[in-house]
Amino acid sequence: MSLLNLAGLALAAVALPIILLYLLKMRRTDRRVSSLLLWREVIADLQANTPFQRLRRNLLMLLQVLAVLLLALALARPIVRLRETGGRHLVLVVDTSASMSARDAPDGRSRLEAARADALEVVEDMGRSTSWWGRGASGDACMVVEAAAEARTVQGFTSDLHALRSALSTLGERHVPTNLEDALLLAMAAVRGRGEGVEGLVHLFSDGASPRLPELSGTGVGLRYHAYGSRADNLGIVALKSGEERGRTQVLVTVANAGDREARRFLNLHGGGVFLDARELSVPPGGRASAVFEGDWEAGVLELSLDGEDPLACDDVARLVLRAGREVRVLLVSPGNPVVERALAATPDALVERVDPAGVDALDPAGHDLVIYDAVVPAREPDRPALYLDPPAAVGPAEPRPAVRSPAILDWARDHPLLRFVDLGDVHLAAARPFVAGPRLRPLVTTDAGAVLVAMGRGDHEHWALGLDVYGSDWPLRASFPIFFKNLVALARRGGGDLPDGVARTGRPVALPAEGLAEVEVVSPDGTRYRLEARDGQAYFGATDLVGVYRVIGGGRTWSFAASLLDAQESDIRTRGVLEAGGRRVEAVASGGGVNREVWGWLVGAALAVLAVEWVAFHRRW
Amino acid sequence: MRELFDAGFLRRLEQLALVSRRIFQGRLQGERRSPRRGTGVEFADFRPYTQGDDFRRIDWNAYARLDDLYLRLFLEEEELAVYLLVDASASMDVGEPVRKFDHARRVLAALGYVALAGLERVQVAAVGRGPEGGGRVPPPPLPLRNRHRFATLLEHLGALRADGAVDLAPGVDAFLGRSRRRGLVLVASDLLTPDPLAPLGRLRAAGHEPFVLHVLAPEEVDPAPGGEHRLVDAETGLALDISMNAQAVRGYRRRLEALSSAVSGWCRRHGVGLLRTVSSEPFEETVLRSLRLAGALR
């Protein structure tokens, strides 16, 4: 038994004055009578007939003190552990997210280890309650759900204790964000799948680091929340970005402090195992601090790490992969276009070679990363990224319509890498030739007459067509024009898709470029190997469960990417004692198996019963 | 005095006197055998002649008609000594809303008024400590006659104070020592004394005719149960702690019933009039009941 409100025991102090009053004898009211003659005989009679008279008075005191003690105990809100009764469907939802690997559970264990042990106890309890009647005869069935970035059924409903034990033992740390909602929905669906009216009980082993929980009331599924964790003083890297400035690489790091005291820690930068730089950060409680590293570093893995120790280690390190800078060779097929040429010239790393469109069909784009056709359409599409400016004829699926006058730009795809930071709100068009809408065209810039910039998928890269003459607009005068060409060059360098910024986050799938490969192999930081099938020049890897460097092997080439946690919510390892489940508050119970029940109601009832007995004892003789 | 016998009391007393006079007289005088019977002028009854009777009392007219000798009896003219003996111990100074002492004095005053109106000789006497004993009970005043002296009777009663620890027996002994004429003694007491029957027996033995008014307070008849109490004796000041539970109350009632039945049994055996009254009941009721009771008894 444990108490939720120790302060309630203070009420027991009331027992002292009661005892004191009895010691000082009870205060009697004076009553004047004519004579004690008859009363003396009565007293003598009473004392002669009730030798327990004295005891009775003490009994009254004892009963009163007992009532006070019971009430004090009730006020302290005791909870008792009761064994589960059979015939229920238990779902053990174990949170294995990053914050659960914080090592602040008793005995130096991680939260997950403690949670696993408690979950195991629930299973053993189930075994004990069933062993009286034989295995599984009580009808208890249990399933195990892992709640990480995604919910996963580790073990379906079974009464087989051995299967449950081994399912629990497979649960390991995963450095990923939490998603309790999906796990609970899965648990509820599983309980409901067992039949109508089935009563389920979900044991949630977590630290509560999840934004919201699904509505549970009325579903016949109870929720018992076992909370873990005792510390909050954790510092973690929550954001990491890289960029280039004047030819130098810049790395922006943000560190968050979940604790309630200011933290001073060193942030170290290593490259290729060699110390490169460090910054001292002072992070206010509950706040963030950022640092910028700038340097001329070689390609490879840059590792940022926080000095010192805190409960959660996996967010103290973040890595990014610096790719080797690569010049982009641009083939501009144009009779001469000063605006475009100037915009390309302003783009670093772009090596522009202009050829006359006269021999366009004879051109071999090999050796170039990007081809720009200015008002000309080749007989054969190049097998690399290409931009068609004002194409006179259909380009693949993009078929230009007759020119329209003064179309107004309505919208553009801001999420497309080509239009990143490109604002077309102030651009006016004198004329344009919008493209006929088609299923294989993705409109990027839409006017009231149709799409004037479209994207076409071409194998592992994209082609784009711009249905207007830039000279027939004021776009070249706007800042968005050179940005557009910078984006174009950057896209070409990536080959149409790569790891953005070289930073991957755990728990999220990564698209791996696998041009010309049927499959690639990924080696995770713990040595596990995954074989991935590549399609359309890309392979998707989803098992980014651990923080660290992943090696990708394919086509005799090895390269790597790094996954980091970078999740402010997971770095905030404060334990939530209360969860909100559809507007209902779910309070954490003391960890462990069995059912925790508050018993104050019984205690108050017992106190009332004692008072009733006291009343009877006071007024009656037995 | 004034608050005890206020105008309302006196008015009610007048009405009471009209209703009660006949009964009282019948009870107290008309059937009394006296050596001097016949000296009065008011005819009372006939009685068969027996040897030794005065010839002069024979009703010759009746002899002529009935051929039997009858005596004509006339009401006794002699005055009767009526003593109003009130227990003036502190134990009588108890009772809510009316003290037993006040109730007893009112009832005695009413009976005294009736007696005065019947031209009896009425004297107030108290069982209590007199000034010589440190108490406030005055010495017995002179006997009164005639209803016009009723104010004086009230003064005598009003001058009494319930005070001190006095047993009934020595008080009665003192009374016997003072009163030479035998008569009717109306004793008003709560009889809460170790042996209440002995003094009554002594009154009888001395030739008096006692009439007992057993006055009790309502809380004595029916004590309220519940609570822890310290009972304080009104006379001695001694205290007794008691849990006034149902059991104690039951025991007390049993004791009181035993006392009452002992008194009533004694009275029945010795032909002594007894009236048990509670101080909370209206005194007129008590008076009428007592008079009727007395009248019915003989």
Structural domain containing residue B148? 7-29+81-297
Which has the higher per-residue pLDDT, B33 or A396?
Answer: A396
- Do B65 and B88 lie in one domain? The reply is no
Residue B24: its pLDDT value, please?
44
Instruction: Give the integer Cα–Cα distance in Å for A305 and A317.
Output: 4
Are B122 and B181 members of one domain? yes
| B119-130 pLDDT per residue, tens | 778 888 888 766
Residue B118 falls inside a structural domain: yes
Query: Considering only CB atoms, which chain B residues are within 8 Å of A40?
Result: 240
**Same domain membership, residue B135 and residue B66:** no
pLDDT, greater one: B32 or B241: B241
A-chain CB neighbours of B255 within 8 Å are 38, 41-42
Token pair for B280:
């909370």
Which of B21, B43, B74 is at the close of a domain?
B74
* A621 with B228: Cβ contact below 8 A: no
End of a domain among B15, B50, B74?
B74
Query: Which one of B74, B103, B131 terminates a domain?
Result: B74
Q: A31, B247: Cβ pair inside 8 Å?
A: no
CATH number at A235-325: 2.60.40.10
pLDDT of residue B51: 84
Considering the domain architecture, whether residues B157 and B40 belong to the same structural domain is answered as no
Q: Which residue has the tokens 């004879």?
A: A362
Total domains, chain B: 2
Weakly modelled stretches of chain A, pLDDT under 50: 130-137, 495-500, 592-593, 622
The matching CATH number, chosen from 3.40.50.2000, 3.40.50.410, 2.40.50.100, 1.20.58.740, for A84-230+575-593 is 3.40.50.410
Model confidence band, residue B153 (pLDDT cutoffs 50, 70, 90): confident
Chain A hits for B194, Cβ within 8 Å: 37
Determine the distance from the C-alpha atom of residue A496 to the mean position of all C-alpha atoms in its chain, rounded to a whole number.
29
Q: A179-233 pLDDT, tens per residue?
A: 888 888 888 888 888 877 777 888 889 888 776 677 766 667 788 888 888 888 8
Q: Does B70 lie in the same domain as B21?
A: no
**Domain A328-494 -> CATH class:** alpha beta
Residues B49 and B139 occupy one common structural domain: no
Are B239 and B106 within one domain? yes
Say which range, A291-300, B58-67, B102-111, has the weakest mean pLDDT: A291-300
- pLDDT, residue B37, reads 46
For chain B, say whether A43 makes contact (Cβ under 8 Å): yes
At a CB cut-off of 8 Å and minimum separation 6, what does B143 contact?
Answer: B81, B121, B122, B123
Nearest residue, CB atoms, B241 vs list A28, A33, A620: A28
B252-B257-B263-B264 Cα dihedral, nearest 10 degrees: 170
A48 close contact with B: CB closer than 8 A: no
Of B231, B239, B247, the CB nearest to A621: B247
Phi first, then psi: what are they for A49, rounded to 5°?
Answer: -90, -20
Give phi and psi for A425, each to the nearest 5. Answer: -65, -25
DSSP state of A535: B
Cβ contact, residue pair B242, A45, below 8 Å = no
Q: Are A105 and A114 in contact (CB under 8 A)?
A: yes
Which of B163, B247, B250, B261 to substitute to test the interface with A, most A CBs within 10 Å? B247
| Nearest Cα residue to A491 out of A564, A585, A579, A384 | A384
Which of chain A's residues have a Cβ under 8 Å away from the Cβ of B163?
none
**In this structure, are B239 and B133 located in the same domain?**
yes
Is A137 an 8 Å CB contact of chain B?
A: no
* Inter-chain touch B220–A46, beta carbons under 8 Å: no
Regarding predicted confidence, which is higher, B163 or B92? B92
Does residue B272 belong to any structural domain of this protein? yes
Q: Which residues contact A148 (CB under 8 A, 6 or more apart)?
A: A95, A96, A97, A174, A176, A177, A178, A179, A507, A545
B70 and B161 assigned to the same domain: no
Q: Cβ separation of A28 and B228 shorter than 8 Å?
A: yes
Answer with the residue of higher pLDDT: B4 or B144: B144
Give the type of residue at A543. Answer: A
pLDDT at B134 over 60: no
Decide if B1 is inside a domain: no
CATH number at residue B158: 3.40.50.410
Q: Identical fold at A84-230+575-593 and A500-564?
A: no
User: What's the pLDDT score for residue A496?
Assistant: 38
Clarify whether residues B182 and B287 are in a common domain: yes
CATH code for A500-564?
Answer: 2.60.40
Return the domain boundaries, chain A.
Answer: 2-80+601-619, 84-230+575-593, 235-325, 328-494, 500-564
Tell me what pLDDT residue B80 has. 75
Question: Cβ–Cβ of A34/B190 closer than 8 Å?
Answer: yes
Task: Decide if B42 touches A, using CB distance below 8 A.
Answer: no
Which residues have a Cβ under 8 Å from the Cβ of A20 and sit 6 or more positions away? none
Question: Do B230 and B251 have their domain in common?
Answer: yes
| Residue B236 C-alpha, separation from nearest chain A C-alpha, in angstroms | 8
Q: Give the mean model confidence (pLDDT) for residues B182-186.
A: 86
